[in-house]
Every structure is written in C-alpha cells, then in structure tokens.
Amino acid sequence: MTALGQDLAVSGAQPRARRAWPAWLRSPGVLCALPMLVFLALSFAAPLLTVLGYSFLPPRTFDFGQGLTLENYADVLTESYYLSFAKSLGLALATVALLLLVSWPIAYGMAKTFGAWANWLTLLLVIPLFVSENIRLFGWVLFLIKGGVLLGSLNTWLGIEADGLIYNVGAIVLGLVYVYLPFMLFPMVLGISMIPQDATEAAEDLGASRWQVFREIELPLAMPGLLIGCLLTFILSLGSLAESKILGGQAVIMIADEIETAFTFGQNWPLGSALSVILIAFSGTLVIALLRWLDLDRILGRRP
C-alpha cells in the first residue's frame, strides 16, 4: 500500500525531473514528502509484505524456499481461532459504544460550553496519555484487587467483604474504555467544533426540540470527527494486548494474544502471520474506506 502510494506520489514529477532538474525543485511538496515515504516504505510497507509472505509458508518454517501453501489459513478456520476473533470484535464494539456515550458530553463541553477552561482540561486529559499504558492498567489492578484501594477501604470502614473485581470480561472492557478514551474524545471535539453555532441556533429558533437539534443538526455535522474516533478506538481495541493480559487474567483470549503466542511460545511464525494478515485486512479495509471519504484538510483546519 505504502510502496504503491510512493510510486504514485513520485510519478507525478518524475518524467519532468529527468528532462529538467528545476522542475523537481519547483515541486517542493514531493521533495518534502520523499524522506517520510522512503522511511514508511522500508519500515511499514516492507514488514507488512513480509508478514503476508510468511502467511503462505508451511507451518513452523522460518524461511522461504519450501513452496507456498494455504494451510495456515485453513488452520485458522478449522481450529478455534475464529472464536478469539469474534470475542475481540465483540469487546471492541462494546468499547466503542461505551466510549461514544462517555465522551459525547465532555467533547460537547470542550467544544462549546467550557470556554477558556477547555485548554486546561485538554492538558489534564492529555497527561495520563503519557503515562505508560501498563502502569495505568496496573493502577486499576491495585485499585480493584482483593485488599486493594477500593475493597480494602470498603472492608475497613464499612465491613464489606468482597472478592477481587478483576480477571473478568468487565475488567477488560473497563481497561479498554480507560486507555482509549482520549482517542475517542479528541477527534470528537474536532468534530463538534465543526458544528456552526448559527445552525444550532437557527434550528432552536424554528422550534426544534433539543433531541431534534441533536439528531438533525449536531450529529450529522460532527460525523467526520465521530467516525475517526470510532474507527481509531475500534481498531486499537481490536488489536489490544495489555488490557486483557493485565486486567483480564485468562478470562478472554484476544486475537492479539493468539498472534503473540503463535509467534513466541508456539514458534509458528506462518500461523501468526496468517492471523495477523486477517486482522490487518479487516481493519485496513475499514480504515481505507473511511479515509477515502474524509476531507482531512477541512477537519484539521486548513484555510479555505
């Protein structure tokens, strides 16, 4: 994908460049894009192509030259891997749905009602993002575990005895919602700030109810930001690893977990590659479909 993009990006200027060097220089965009594209071709496109190649090797082999096979894909379908995939999908969908509900009021406040406070709030919301994900998840373990901050206090002050609240599906969803909240929130703020105040006011003046304003004006106008947020959090949750490992115990085996096991303990790189290819193809299709539709210049605030 990246390699193809690079060809396309360069071919615009290449023929003229051969004839006259200054034509190249007159396209500074190409020059500026080039280092980045070369880097991504070498360290993003090439690894993905390698994974694709490996997925067609016979199981448990480590180099090319022994013929190609579809055996790994057959294994994925016949063994229970599709179950992990289905569970990951379910958890990712639940996470996105919860994040939409949790983030909308905050994003609305940040874009419309908080005024000068919004900057400080942004800072406060960004700070946890820079604390390593597994430290924060570990903090939840300390909070929720038997004898931890929550249950320890309940026990001491109210005499309530309870078992630990982690190592179940709920804890994994909590971890996912927690870690990916900013990834939903900030695109959503971008989306909501694209709603012109006039549009809402006009609708109100014409007698629209709050619900009608939300459904007919705010939701459609904020849609680009909402979709970016949903897609980003969906894909990150789908491929997440740390949440299920730290908070989930072995309650749910996520697809990324299966991939990791195949690569490490399983020593079956071709199987791990086949699983990765399916995950990448699935999320990649969604991403490319959305990105084709979005006008990035408008969302990120280019001058007209």
Partner 1 sequence: MTQRQAKRLTHGLIAVWTGAILVFLYLPIFSVGLASFSKARYFRFPILRYDTTWYEKAFSSLSVRELVSTSLTIALLVALISVLLAFFGALAFARFDWRGRRLYQRIILLPIFFPQAVLGLALLIWFSTVGIIPDWRTAVIAHLVWITPIVTLVISIQAYGFDPALEEAAFDLGASRWQTLKEVTLPVLAPGVISGALFAFLLSWGNFPLSLFTTGADQTVPEWLYAKMVSGYTPLVPTLGALTTTGAALILLLGYTLFMLTRRVRGS
Least distance from C-beta 79 to partner 1, angstroms?
A: 19
Question: What does the per-residue mask of binding to partner 1 show for 94-113, with x meaning CB under 8 A?
Answer: --------x--xx-xx---x
Question: What does the per-residue mask of binding to partner 1 show for 58-97, with x meaning CB under 8 A?
Answer: ----x-----------------------------------
Q: Kindly report each contact of residues 276-281 with a partner whose C-beta sits within 8 Å and lies 24 or more positions away, as own/partner.
A: 276/51, 276/55, 277/51, 277/52, 277/55, 278/73, 278/76, 278/85, 279/85, 279/238, 279/239, 279/255, 280/48, 280/51
Least distance from C-beta 96 to partner 1, angstroms?
A: 14
| 170 in contact with partner 1 (CB under 8 A) | no
Least distance from C-beta 175 to partner 1, angstroms?
A: 9
Q: Are 193 and 122 in contact (CB under 8 A)?
A: no
Cβ proximity to partner 1: between 80 and 153 the closer is 153
Q: Are 255 and 279 in contact (CB under 8 A)?
A: yes
**CA atoms of 107 and 104, how far apart (whole Å):** 5
Least distance from C-beta 139 to partner 1, angstroms?
A: 3
Q: Are 270 and 57 in contact (CB under 8 A)?
A: yes
Least distance from C-beta 290 to partner 1, angstroms?
A: 9
| 139 in contact with partner 1 (CB under 8 A) | yes
Cβ proximity to partner 1: between 105 and 220 the closer is 105
Measure Cα distances from 53 to 15, 114, 119, 271, 276 in Å.
32, 52, 47, 12, 12
| 246 in contact with partner 1 (CB under 8 A) | yes
Contact with partner 1 (CB under 8 A) among 173, 226, 252, 279: 279
Left, alpha or beta for 174 (phi > 0: left; psi -120 to 50: alpha)? alpha
Question: What does the per-residue mask of binding to partner 1 show for 178-217, with x meaning CB under 8 A?
Answer: x--x----------------------x-----x-------
**CA atoms of 172 and 243, how far apart (whole Å):** 6
Least distance from C-beta 220 to partner 1, angstroms?
A: 20
Measure Cα distances from 213 to 110, 150, 227 in Å.
18, 41, 19
Question: What does the per-residue mask of binding to partner 1 show for 11-30, with x meaning CB under 8 A?
Answer: -xx-------------xxxx
Contact with partner 1 (CB under 8 A) among 176, 188, 225, 245: 245
